[in-house]
Chain A
Amino acid sequence: MLALDRVGKTYPNGVHALSRFSAEIKLGEIIAIIGGSGCGKSTLLRAIAGLDRATSGTVTLDAATITAPHAKIGIIFQEPRLLPWLSVADNIGFGLSDLPADARREKVTRALVRVGLADKANAWPRELSGGQAQRVAIARALVPQPEVLLLDEPFSALDAFTRRDLQDHLLDLWADTRPTLILVTHDVDEAVMLADRVLVMRPRPGRLFEEIAINLARPRDRNSPHFDNFKRRVLTALDRSLDRNVPDSEAAANAGEAMWW
């Protein structure tokens, strides 16, 4: 279990980015974090990843307190961040350098097939499309079989069609080993499609505002009325988190759009 206990972060320049964020996340749960720009979502994710240290509070995975990157926690950034000097296969195998070469090769090959890029094993990252590159990044983060996978707006640079494709793909991959997923997103549709729980944050300082459980069976149908219902609930919560008093009817109209701003 991943436990966030009153996690806070004040940057050296005095910005109070995150304040007393607490949550308990069970193994295999999918959490979506949503909130306005600058409300500390990336800050929170980087603290969980151990890339930056929280200035107050603790992040614990099982019994271990996270203060530095941890073997069981992986992260996927908004950009693929592939290493341009490694082939696609070597990028995917980057985190497996402890394994003997043939075990590594086997895992990489399986991952390549799994993300549908078997024919790109020897390609350079520069030869990939944006969606393909992000799939390589997903494979790279998943092959070491993390218990917790953090995703910071992983699909936001992609077009709507590719994004949906990758969301389905991510769910597929998740079903293999069922790690905990914590996904930061701006896309209400994405949050409701993927998450068991949506955590809505509010800014200045960034903190938890509301938690919405998405009680929908998987696979979810984007066109069902229940789906729309949850989208509307998340949207209203978002609007309230920004102190915007939007009448319900307008929020409902907005619900049709994938991106809420």
Chain B
Amino acid sequence: MTIEVPVLEQTNADVARPVASVRLSRLVRPALGLLLPLSLALGWELAVWLGYSNGRLVPPPTKVFATIVELAKSGELSRHIATTLSRVAAGFALGVVAGTLLGAVSGYWGLARRLLDPTVQALRAIPSIAWVPLFILWLGIFETSKVALIAVGVFFPVYLGVMGAIHSVDRKIVEVGRIFRLSGPAMIRRILLPAVLPAYVVALRVGLGLGWMFVVAAEFMGASEGLGYLLIDGQQLGKPAQIVAAIVIFAILGKTTDWLIELATAPLLRWQDAFGRGRGAA
């Protein structure tokens, strides 16, 4: 008897599933990803509150939040965010344009690849931070050198992604274009572009991630504004809450911009028949 009750319940739940669970899972699934960070934050808050730690070096969430609010009220926060965002945007745009053009050229023409690719690969082997002193000498310590560094970081994954994607477009699909006698531009627009799009989106997202990484490096090398400046400032003045606040904002901005790319390209990739589809990639 005791065994049968849950079985019965489950049958009822199954009947209700088609309508209710779709709606439910749409709300619950993204929330699932918040579970771990939220409970960690809550746990730390409790630990400090109960006196297990003084929270001086690792400030509790309320203190971080208070710092963010304070910065926001003074208008400083939006200034720092705007500065950092504009640097990332400029560097990302430059890196994407250069990476896409060169990647497309060496993906499309074998000769260009043979000429270009070895050099690019050699440059790629240089840790990008090693450029910093040169960039400062060449471009000064202000915006230009920072944007250049970010652009370098974005360039390589985009270049590699585009080149690899074009290079590996299925010959069989290209033959379909040939049979219908597409001209060169039509072949690019109707066959190559759609075929490389999924890989291109991945390359853009990787590039953006590196852009966020390099903006911090760029802002470490002497800045009076920006989230990276907040980090350095917090370290020099011994304000861990400010450091953590900047880190949290980096996380939020990074995730949001990545999500924006995903959102913007999703309609173009609806046709994809991939393993990850429908498996709840947030």
Contacts and interface: CB of A to CB of B under 8 A. Distances in A.
A81 B273 contact: no
Given A83-B191, A84-B272, A84-B273, A49 B172 contact: no
B272 A74 contact: no
Contact of B178 (A51, A71, A125): A51
A64 B5 CA distance: 80
B206 to A, nearest CB: 22
Contacts of A28: none
B173 interface: yes
Q: Determine the main DSSP class of B at the interface with A.
A: helix
B73 interface: no
A95 interface: yes
Nearest to A49: B179
B222 interface: no
Interface residues of B, number: 18
B143 to A, nearest CB: 39
Nearest to B179: A69
B172 A69 contact: no
A75 interface: yes
Nearest to B268: A85
Contact of A77 (B172, B194, B271): B172
Interface in A72-88: 74-75, 77, 79, 81, 83-86
B181 A71 contact: yes
B271 A81 contact: no
Contact of B173 (A74, A75, A83): A83
Name the residue among A84, A86, A144 with the largest chain B CB count within 10 angstroms. A84
Interface string B177-188: 011110000100
A150 B68 CA distance: 69
Q: Determine the main DSSP class of A at the interface with B.
A: loop
A126 B273 contact: yes
Contact of A74 (B178, B179, B186, B197): B179
Nearest to A74: B179
B175 interface: yes
Contact of B172 (A74, A81, A86): A81
A75 B180 CA distance: 10
A86 B189 CA distance: 13
B172 A124 contact: no
A84 B271 contact: yes
Interface in B247-282: 270-273
User: Which bracket fits the contact residues of A?
Assistant: 20 to 34
A51 B174 CA distance: 11
Given A77-B172, A79-B172, A81-B172, A126 B271 contact: yes
A71 B273 CA distance: 32
Nearest to A137: B176
B175 to A, nearest CB: 6
B179 A85 contact: no
Contact of B271 (A49, A85, A94, A95): A85
B194 A81 contact: no
Contacts of A75: 179
B180 A124 contact: no
B178 A81 contact: no
Nearest to B271: A85
Contacts of A71: 181
Contacts of A68: 181
A124 B271 contact: yes
B211 to A, nearest CB: 28
Given A77-B175, A84-B272, A97-B186, 6 more contacts: A69-B179, A70-B181, A85-B195, A85-B271, A86-B271, A94-B190
Closest 4 CB pairs of A and B: A126-B273, A85-B194, A95-B180, A85-B271
18 contacts: A49-B179, A68-B181, A69-B179, A69-B180, A69-B181, A77-B175, A79-B172, A81-B173, A83-B176, A84-B271, A85-B194, A85-B271, A86-B271, A94-B176, A94-B190, A97-B186, A124-B271, A124-B273
